[in-house]
Copies of this chain bind each other. A is one copy, B any other.
Amino acid sequence: MDSNLDRELARARLAAPDRLRALFAPSSVALVGASEGSGWARFIVESLRTAGLPGRLVPVHRRNPTAFGEPTVASLRDLDDPVDLAFVMVPTDAVESVLDDAAEAGIRNVIVLASGFAEIGDEGRERERRLADVAIDHDLTLLGPNCLGYVNSHAKAAPFGLHLVPPLQSGPVGIVLQSGALASAVMQFTRSRAIGVSLLTSMGNEAIVTAADVIEYLLGDEDTRVIALFLESIRDPARFVALADRALAAGKPLVALKVGRTPAGQAAALAHTGAVAGDDAVVAAVLRQHGVVRVDSLEELLTTAGLLGYVRAPEGRRMGVVTASGGACDIIADRSADEDIEIPDFAPATVDRIAAVLPSFAAVRNPLDITGFVLADPKAAASDAGVVALNALIDDPGIDFIFNAVALPAAPPPDPSLLQRRMDGVAAAQRRTDKPIVHFTNVCTDVSPFARGVLAEHGLHVLGGIELGIRAVGHALAWSDARSRPVASPGQGPALVEVRRGGPWSEAAAREFVAGFGVPVVPAELVTSAAAAVAAADRLGYPVVLKVCAAALTHKSDAGGVALGLADEAAVRAAFVRLEALGRDHDGEGVLVSPLRDKGIELFAGVRIDPAFGPVLAVGLGGVWIEILGDVSLRALPVPADEIERMLGELRGAALLRGARGEVPVDVAAVAKAVAALADAAAALGPGLAAVEVNPLWVRGAEVEALDVLMVTKEQGDGD
């Protein structure tokens, strides 16, 4: 390869959507190293047959004339026609020569099972680099190494090295896993809950095809309406963010179980991937910012993806609930409050329609318990109460979406016509409305084969349990919120400016720089004599603050470089003498004189560089809020001003800004404007940015002033 860039471009071409479309939909597959003694091989053959591969399945084996009931060829070179995909199961050392054979045979897609590559350390990393070079040289789209393959139920292709239990249900959920062995668990749960999958793929080591490539492919895949991710690391953060923005704009949700939330989890993930873990608080902020739904468990991942794949995401938080259990109503009400879901009163017309079909003792309220009384006489018209209620809620303009309990018998009931009538009613109700209807069962258990048939016949999807159901609804609402927010385009930042590079700036220089971008700064005069200090204090008004101004003293307060609340000339003179001496020891520029701001609220705002996501804005309250509670809101740049207002609203101490504890309510828009200016100043430093921080950012009502500014730039060439 000529250069890293050329190599990356070549890799990207091999992993482009049109190449992945071919990789993931082969008609014919060759299995290289297909020994019947290998559990992997047995599973792969079984999986391919279970899924119903349309074309040839060719075992390749040097010695055995047949394998798995098929005649073998000795080498891929012996094929008359190329197959669409070769699954390479040979030992690590033999992989490269098989790739040579594949290329020679005209094959363009390979999966490599062998481990012993980057996951084992330096030697393996070098071996993996060579493997990638071979693939690039041969124009081979390579999935793996260390990869268990994939399942594409739409294409009936399942070159997949784990036990695949039928039925394969095809559907709207695309699944990308940075873990092979978890694929079994994921398939098991989707099957148990009748969640249809478009493509499920394990990624292996991502030597050529990366998780981001598969996400990009799935964004263009018509069979996929939602993408579920298990991520150990985000390898190319900028590309991931760009894909997330495309997904949000396209209305195709990304749902991610990103591990490494905790130090223990990071250590575990690093042990398997060797990838670099970023700061999880930044990861969380970036995922939220770009509309990626983050979940904590596999069940939550797949239930949420199921909801978003089968049901239009609700856009309002007013939920109507229909159940046949008061206890379920109680649990739903509690959990909905946790998720900020509202359960408003029904409209009077809704109450009337429902009351007409319920016994007089039943209370018609939201959440609705249609009660079990229908059991007393299931032939009464009232047995359709659930359907009547569902239709009434569809017509209630005060209800944004419906959470509807579905009782799914595991086996055919004694009188199937009742079930049929009820399900017909539910399906008809669903067809006549755009209002999202989320069906659920009370607990998360398997959908039986019988129930699976009933659901398929009526076009219904049912979430597994109140707990996972409400959690998924909460995620869907968060996704809708993200969709409704304008996304800042990366091009919106300010023009870069050339600045002095390397190390901290003096406060006077930093103040001037950020003020140039519109950050309001407290008045200050830089003085170099006691007389000038007194004159400045007279102009600015007592009491004043004196601070040493020296780039080298980044922690002025700790060094005794700040004198607060100086009330008269004598105090100013004394403080000047002391600070001037301190400054002289540190190559100082003089002493800054400012008026004291002693009421109001102290915030801080700063931009630092995250190794993965680049410049990240942090906003918080000072004092215990940051020091004890770590109460900080984060966003990757760029961040529009209205998003900064949301950041302030997210703080646990946000009530203070609204005027709690006798404070003047803060003009949040004014604060956001000042912080946005600070973010611009930071962004304008471009690769020179190391840190820009205002602490405190003083606020009283609509008055906003940076009382102290810290700026640090990088050396030229350091990160450019």
Contacts and interface: CB of A to CB of B under 8 A. Distances in A.
A174 to B, nearest CB: 18
Contacts of A165: 410
Contacts of A37: 377
A442 interface: yes
A206 interface: no
Interface in A173-196: 177-182, 184-186, 188-189, 192
B329 A272 contact: yes
Given A39-B377, A181-B328, A188-B443, A466 B232 contact: no
A698 interface: no
Nearest to A413: B163
Nearest to A189: B443
Contact of A327 (B182, B375, B378): B182
**Interface size grouping (class) on chain A:** 35 or more
Contacts of A375: 38-40, 43, 161
Contacts of A363: 271
A652 interface: yes
Give the number of times this chain occurs in the complex, counting copies.
Answer: 2
Interface in A362-390: 363, 365, 367, 369, 371-378
A325 to B, nearest CB: 3
Interface stretch (A80-88, A235-243, A332-340): A332-340
Contact of A179 (B261, B325, B409): B325
A260 interface: yes
Nearest to A324: B181
Interface stretch (A23-31, A135-143, A207-215, A296-304): A296-304
Contacts of A661: 623-624, 627-628
Contacts of A365: 271
Nearest to A280: B334
A219 to B, nearest CB: 23
A330 B232 contact: yes
Nearest to A120: B361
A267 to B, nearest CB: 7
A182 B410 CA distance: 17
A36 to B, nearest CB: 12
B465 A298 contact: yes
Contacts of A1: none
A331 B262 contact: no
Nearest to A383: B39
A152 to B, nearest CB: 21
Nearest to A261: B334
A335 B299 CA distance: 14
Contacts of A54: none
A436 interface: no
Contacts of A163: 409
A276 interface: no
A629 interface: yes
Most B-side CB within 10 Å, residue of A268, A445, A653: A268
Nearest to A184: B442
A296 B467 contact: yes
Contacts of A148: 372
Contacts of A299: 443-444, 465, 467
B182 A442 contact: yes
Contacts of A179: 325-328, 330
Nearest to A464: B444
A161 B373 CA distance: 11
B188 A330 contact: no
A465 B297 contact: yes
A115 interface: yes
Interface string A605-635: 0000000000000000001110111000000
A656 interface: yes
A304 to B, nearest CB: 13
Contacts of A374: 39
B376 A259 contact: no
Contacts of A263: 337
A374 B299 CA distance: 27
A269 interface: yes
Contact of A298 (B324, B336, B367, B442): B442
A330 B443 contact: no
A202 B465 CA distance: 20
Contacts of A257: 331
A335 B259 CA distance: 10
A264 interface: yes
Given A298-B443, A334-B261, A378-B39, A329 B268 contact: yes
7 contacts: A119-B361, A148-B372, A185-B443, A186-B443, A268-B326, A299-B443, A627-B661
Given A262-B333, A297-B465, A628-B653, 20 more contacts: A39-B375, A39-B378, A165-B410, A179-B327, A182-B325, A188-B445, A192-B443, A264-B337, A265-B330, A267-B333, A268-B332, A269-B333, A271-B329, A271-B363, A272-B326, A272-B327, A296-B467, A298-B465, A628-B661, A629-B629
